[in-house]
């Protein structure tokens, strides 16, 4: 199996050393570069193309949010994981809009960091429970008094899957809970987004809260 290649961006050498020590013990993960600033990152990306960039938000030159925005435009295949001490809604939402695939507090456990890396590499988003609650509460507040599509288009099974998505379950976990294949879950989620004319899982969560298919 190919290794997950990672570039680490953080201006604190001690923190980078700690992350490197953990990643170095993983057989299927390879740290192919590390930098301390946004400029250094893009200089490095002219030479290497990682699967994932792990970045802080607070950097000495440009913000991690700006880094994510540029990465999304210049290297759309590279996944982005934010690792930051900033856990308020404003920073999280800005990071998601910039293209981040995951967001974790900087004091997260190394086990959870590894789980996030593998989840994002599989094409899913990753947030721990605290971050998920902040996102959902923010979406719930924003969704008040906004017109939403009808839920009539969804089948009972599709509504069931939407509820599990809002609860933060991965495709694999949904498949196991409903005793169906991961491919079937993927198909259901694709159909749900098409029926509701939505573009992302975040849009789907917002829709579910507005229409009371799921609650926080």
What does the alpha-carbon distance between residue 32 and residue 7 come to, in Å, rounded to a whole number?
6
Most confident of 110-114, 195-199, 202-206: 110-114
State the helix-helix crossing angle for 64-74 and 89-98, rounded to 10 degrees.
20
DSSP string, 29-77: EEEEEEESSHHHHHHHTTT---SEEEE-S--SSS-HHHHHHHHHHH-TT
Q: What are the chain's domains?
A: 4-127 (3.40.50.2300), 143-210 (1.10.10.10)
- Report whether pLDDT(147) > 60: no
Please identify which residue in the block is written with the tokens 């170095």: 24
Contact 193/199 with Cβ under 8 angstroms?
yes
> In the predicted model, what is the mean pLDDT of residues 87-97?
82
What does the alpha-carbon distance between residue 180 and residue 144 come to, in Å, rounded to a whole number?
34
pTM comes to: 0.63
Q: What is the DSSP letter of 204?
A: H
Q: Starting from the edge strand earliest in sequence, which strands make up the sheet with 29-35, in order?
A: 29-35, 4-9, 52-55, 79-84, 102-105, 126-127
**Banded model confidence at residue 2, pLDDT cuts 50, 70, 90:** confident
């Amino acid at each position: 199996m190919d290794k997950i290649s990672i570039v680490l961006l953080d201006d604190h050498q001690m923190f980078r050393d700690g992350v490197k020590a953990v990643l170095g013990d993983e057989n299927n993960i390879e740290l192919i570069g590390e930098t301390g600033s946004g400029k250094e990152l893009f200089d490095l990306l002219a030479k290497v193309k990682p699967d994932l960039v792990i970045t802080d938000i607070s950097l000495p030159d440009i913000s991690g949010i700006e880094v994510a925005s540029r990465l999304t435009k210049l290297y759309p295949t590279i996944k982005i994981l934010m690792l930051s001490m900033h856990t308020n809604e404003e920073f999280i939402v800005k990071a998601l809009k910039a293209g981040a695939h995951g967001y974790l507090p900087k004091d997260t456990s190394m086990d959870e960091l590894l789980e996030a890396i593998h989840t994002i590499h599989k094409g899913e988003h990753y947030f721990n429970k605290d971050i998920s609650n902040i996102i959902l509460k923010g979406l719930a507040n924003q969704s008040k008094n906004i017109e939403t599509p009808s839920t009539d288009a969804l089948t009972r099974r599709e509504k069931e899957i939407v509820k599990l998505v809002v609860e933060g379950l991965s495709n694999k976990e949904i498949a196991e809970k409903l005793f169906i294949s991961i491919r079937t879950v993927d198909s259901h989620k694709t159909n749900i987004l098409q029926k509701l004319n939505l573009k992302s899982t975040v849009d789907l969560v917002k829709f579910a809260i507005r229409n009371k298919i799921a609650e926080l």
